[in-house]
Structure 1
Amino acid sequence: MLSEPDLDLVAALQVAPRAPVAVLAEALGTSSSTVGRRLARLEEQRVLRVIGQVEWSARAEGHPRHVWVTTQPGASGRVARALAELPEAQLVAETSGRSDVYLAVHVPDRARTRELLTERIPGVPGVAGTHSELVLRALTRADAWRLRRLDDAQVDLLSRAADPVEPPAGPLKIGRDEHRVLGLLRENGRITAAEAGRVLGLSQSTTYRLIQSILRRGIVRPRVEVEPVLLGYGLEVTMALTISPGAIQAVAEELARHPSARYVSIVAGTTSVIHQGVFRNEEEMADFLTRDLAPLPGITALQVSVVLRMLRRYWIHREDGLLVP
């Protein structure tokens, strides 16, 4: 688990991932040099990285899919490692409960989805069975999850430094140079216009306008990538809820507001809503199930997959909780 000052920095970056070091320092009541050194250290130790979360329609034709995999006895680790090498695999985890391996995949071309789901994933040696569901709508994603460590004044100061996002007026249209900038923001959510301009051979002013356009339209949403276990959340789960049709939207919205929610989506399949949540311990999760989830209307079934080991998240490989370069 990270130190208290490190956790404060993570919380500040969650509010304003691209905020200048001086603004982060002011919000945290310390010096810019201290914040700069701390951020550099966390990055060097592979604990933390600010990346760009790309809007689905800018990555592919369709939406992601959740896939649950059962394996032959003793094969879950080997299967999980093989699935983590799939270029379409956004998230891969070895789990217990509903499945032995859980993954989220996003296929750039709809025509290749059938091949991935019916041939390539089931064809991995050791796979005994698979089940997949299509994401219809996401109500919250990882960029919105927050550590509750900052007071209102700190959040207000940081929010003013955050990049404003305008609701899309229609289908996203992305030019050639915007695509090039998008690729850099995806890898480094804090990249400056000067740095991006040097890489792309564009002027700083042109690159600045491209970055601001991409951020303002929500094509890329910068976010802090750090494993929850390092933040004190030792229990991560994926819950698949079956809900009566009339209550799906209301339940999904309520779950999206819960402090545990890193990702909540409405899906098409045997279940209705997927809730990916993090908890500090088993007692906290028990409170969620019995106190927060139980009163919600229309829930008829619940299946839980508990993460045993995270191998890949948002296309970044993990090793013992650290980010693999």
Structure 2
Amino acid sequence: MSIAKIEMGESFTKLRLDDGYHQGVTVQTNLDDLDLDLIAALQQAPRAPVNVLAEALGSSPSTVGRRLQRLHDDRLVRVIGQVDWPLFSGAHPRHVWITTVPGRLQEVARALAERPETQFVAMTAGHADIYCVVLPAGRDHVRDLLTHEIPSVPGVVSTQSDLVLRPVIRADAWRLDRLPPDRLAALGSHRDDGEEGSGWAVPTPQEMAAVRLLHHNARTGSSEVARELGVSQSTAYRLIQSLLERRIVRPRVEVEPALLGMGLEAVVSLGVTPGAIADVAGLLGAHPSARYVSVVAGGASIIHHGVFRDEAALADFLSVDLARGSGVTDLRVSVVLDVLRRYWIRRDGVFLGDPRLPLPYGSEEGATG
């Protein structure tokens, strides 16, 4: 991507971009209060109609609709469908820490970001050079992926991995806390309550086709699903509701934390005594910084992936907030330098690529998170 021109103001930054997505267009990357309120509302109610969002924000539907379209067109915000793990494989994710040959960090990170198994890839400082989250295609793929395929990437010196035993909180639950109770109440029944699904079952081919559409755009309505799948609108509506109620698809807002004022991202690995794991995991999962917290097996007991406004906020988290939980025996921190891929979506600074979720059955031509 080439940046042809940068224009600075007190509350905005405009970039003149020439790349595959923005052919000579001007993109305003700093968000105003209405933009931030809209993102906060979408995090609470990702599928809420524009008129409901407008009422909650005290604005007009036309204004909110234009803002939402601009954020999407500028590749700053996407509302995607997060898809449940069992649709990928019978394996659980692994956190992988990688040390690289000096001077080859960026090359290795780019190579890893092209692999279909890598959900998250970031260059880091601290515990390792690269931190990534991988989801093997199946249990029979775990050994080769961890012992051969990743270590064989040119420039890799060593790797260490942790098996995710269970997630405590996932990124779809992270919220920008800026809307007062009355505005949240205006979102009504459209709010995502975060509860677990009503029961998981292998989706039918027709449901998988709907999953693929919702992953690309979780705000897709029944009329579009009906048109794409060649079914009636009532059938499409039932498909969508079933997938959402079973939590096979979890709508989530994709936006880089830095765009929301979170200037620092860190991954904290904690060693915890066995009797304290549940309590510490609960403490971390409830922390406002938490994007992804999981109980793991390997070199740590719990991994906390958090976002913070600045270094002072991270210092408070490490020295004050963590001190409230007993049982922590070890602490290792990796500070994120740059994110190349997050939830299978390529990142270029604050700009988002297209969702490319590698679901194992079904294809783009056939009937996917």
TM range (shorter): over 0.9
Q: What is the Cα deviation at residue 164 of structure 1?
A: 6.3
Aligned equivalent of 2:102 = 73
Deviations for 1:78-103, whole angstroms, at most 9, x for unmatched residues?
10000000001000001110010110
Residue 317 of structure 1 pairs with residue 330 of structure 2? no
Structure 2 letter corresponding to 1:162: R
Using the aligned pairs only, state the percent identity: 57
**CA–CA separation in structure 2 for the residues paired with 1:209 and 1:121:** 41
**CA–CA separation in structure 1 for the residues paired with 2:195 and 2:54:** 27
Q: Which stretches in structure 2 are left out of the alignment for 5+ residues?
A: 1-29, 355-369
**CA–CA separation in structure 1 for the residues paired with 2:177 and 2:165:** 29
Query: Which residues of 2 match residues 232-311 of structure 1 at below 5 A?
Result: 232-311=261-340
TM-score by length of 1: 0.97
Residue 2 of structure 1 pairs with residue 31 of structure 2? yes
**CA–CA separation in structure 2 for the residues paired with 1:195 and 1:45:** 23
Match of 1:151 among 147, 163, 180: 180
Q: What is the Cα deviation at residue 271 of structure 1?
A: 0.3
Answer with 1-10 or 45-54: which moved more.
1-10
Question: Is the CA contact 1:11–1:148 (under 8 Å) kept in the aligned structure 2?
Answer: yes
Question: Is the CA contact 2:168–2:293 (under 8 Å) kept in the aligned structure 1?
Answer: yes
Residue 128 of structure 1 pairs with residue 157 of structure 2? yes
Query: Which residues of 2 match residues 117-266 of structure 1 at below 5 A?
Result: 117-162=146-191, 167-168=196-197, 171-266=200-295
* RMSD of Structure 2 on Structure 1 (CA): 1.3
Q: How many residues align?
A: 325
Aligned equivalent of 1:25 = 54
Question: Is the CA contact 1:164–1:215 (under 8 Å) kept in the aligned structure 2?
Answer: no
**CA–CA separation in structure 1 for the residues paired with 2:104 and 2:346:** 20
1:15–1:122 distance in 2 versus 1, CA, 3 Å:
same
Q: What is the Cα deviation at residue 159 of structure 1?
A: 4.3
**CA–CA separation in structure 1 for the residues paired with 2:297 and 2:285:** 18
Structure 2 letter corresponding to 1:207: A
Q: What is the Cα deviation at residue 163 of structure 1?
A: 5.5
**CA–CA separation in structure 2 for the residues paired with 1:97 and 1:165:** 33
Deviations for 1:265-289, whole angstroms, at most 9, x for unmatched residues?
0001120001000000001111111
Deviations for 1:123-164, whole angstroms, at most 9, x for unmatched residues?
010000000111011111111111110011111222421356
Aligned equivalent of 2:142 = 113
Q: What is the Cα deviation at residue 201 of structure 1?
A: 1.4
**CA–CA separation in structure 1 for the residues paired with 2:269 and 2:201:** 30
Q: What is the Cα deviation at residue 173 of structure 1?
A: 2.8
Q: What is the Cα deviation at residue 59 of structure 1?
A: 2.3
1:254–1:243 distance in 2 versus 1, CA, 3 Å:
same
Answer with 37-46 or 106-115: which moved more.
106-115
Question: Is the CA contact 1:247–1:297 (under 8 Å) kept in the aligned structure 2?
Answer: yes
1:142–1:167 distance in 2 versus 1, CA, 3 Å:
closer
Question: Is the CA contact 2:173–2:194 (under 8 Å) kept in the aligned structure 1?
Answer: no
Question: Is the CA contact 1:238–1:305 (under 8 Å) kept in the aligned structure 2?
Answer: yes
Q: Which has the higher contact order (CA 8 A, sep 6+)?
A: 1
Q: What SS class does the counterpart of residue 297 from structure 1 fall into? A: coil
**CA–CA separation in structure 1 for the residues paired with 2:312 and 2:64:** 34
Question: Is the CA contact 2:198–2:245 (under 8 Å) kept in the aligned structure 1?
Answer: no
Aligned equivalent of 1:16 = 45
1:171–1:35 distance in 2 versus 1, CA, 3 Å:
closer
Q: What SS class does the counterpart of residue 294 from structure 1 fall into? A: helix
1:159–1:105 distance in 2 versus 1, CA, 3 Å:
farther
Match of 1:39 among 62, 68, 86: 68
**CA–CA separation in structure 2 for the residues paired with 1:166 and 1:204:** 27
Q: What is the Cα deviation at residue 202 of structure 1?
A: 1.5
1:93–1:42 distance in 2 versus 1, CA, 3 Å:
same
Structure 2 letter corresponding to 1:323: L
**CA–CA separation in structure 1 for the residues paired with 2:194 and 2:301:** 29
Structure 2 letter corresponding to 1:119: H
**CA–CA separation in structure 2 for the residues paired with 1:207 and 1:6:** 31
**CA–CA separation in structure 2 for the residues paired with 1:241 and 1:118:** 24
**CA–CA separation in structure 1 for the residues paired with 2:167 and 2:248:** 15
**CA–CA separation in structure 1 for the residues paired with 2:82 and 2:195:** 16
**CA–CA separation in structure 2 for the residues paired with 1:221 and 1:7:** 21
TM-score by length of 2: 0.86
**CA–CA separation in structure 1 for the residues paired with 2:352 and 2:213:** 18
